[in-house]
A and B are shown apart, each in its own frame.
Chain A
């Protein structure tokens, strides 16, 4: 099983600031089969990024993904009020697994 570890656990930022979220895999994620999701309370996850750096349909370009191998990053260039949520990474190069999530909260 590929274990994904996200850091930090919580990120306290203000609107307009840049958010950088990390996802580290216990072994290499083949073909960069890594996705990022956003989740708000009481809602299903929303796909943001797939294949490590491709934005899903309708996702604003302030969201970007990067990385390869075992280290991946989700960047939100300028936080909007609606971006405060929990973000989870997920690998699909083996049996799918998720990270534990990073909560982005308003300072």
Chain B
């Protein structure tokens, strides 16, 4: 069974940093593109970032480019999102998500989500 267990959310002040983790199991982690998708309170979903199966290539939404860094450790089956220079508008539930097939960019598998709150 595909499972993705997220951790690392919480309250952070504007300008601060936070790292999210997503521990995957039940599939060959190193074979799949992985993504982060977020949802601000009461708002729609927003794709944030993606990383290829090897980790060689990364992609970002314009809203987070230069502030967020996606990475993965295939030996630990874990995906990360390092978030720096956080702003109030980054407040959201953050989900990790796995492609249906590598590079397909639609998502049948999701983590449980973690809440990131940026507030003073």
Interface residues in chain A, defined as those with a beta carbon under 8 Å from any beta carbon in chain B: 33, 35, 37, 44-45, 47, 50, 56-57, 88, 90, 92, 95-101
Cβ of A44: which chain B residues have Cβ within 8 Å of it? 95, 110-113
Residues of A within 8 A of B108 (CB): 47, 56-57
- B50 CB → nearest A CB, Å: 8
- Residues of B close to A50: CB separation below 8 A: 100, 104, 106
In the assembled complex, B46 has its CB within 8 A of some CB on chain A:
yes
Q: CA A35 – CA B105 in complex, angstroms?
A: 10
- Chain A residues closer than 8 Å to B110, beta-carbon distance: 44-45
Q: Which residues of A sit under 8 angstroms from B100, Cβ to Cβ?
A: 47, 50
User: Does residue B45 face the partner (Cβ distance < 8 Å to A)?
Assistant: yes
B27 lies within 8 A of chain A by Cβ: no
Chain B interface secondary structure, helix, strand, loop or mixed?
loop
What does the 1/0 interface line of B87-113 toward A look like (CB < 8 Å)? 000000001000010001111101111
What count of chain B residues pass the 8 Å CB interface test? Answer: 20
A96 touches B47 (CB 8 A): yes
B29-47 CB mask vs A (1 if < 8 Å, else 0) is: 0000001010000011111
Is B11 interfacial (CB-CB < 8 Å)?
Answer: no
Q: How far is the CA of A50 from the CA of B113 in the complex (A)?
A: 22
Contact between chains at B106 and A45 (CB < 8 Å):
no
Contact for A92 among B44, B61, B104, CB less than 8 A: B104
B44 with A95: CB separation less than 8 A: no
Q: Do B105 and A96 touch across chains, with their CB atoms under 8 A apart?
A: yes
How far apart sit A88 and B44, CA to CA, in the bound complex (Å)? 8
Closest 8 CB pairs of A and B: A44-B110, A92-B105, A96-B47, A35-B106, A98-B45, A47-B108, A100-B44, A50-B106
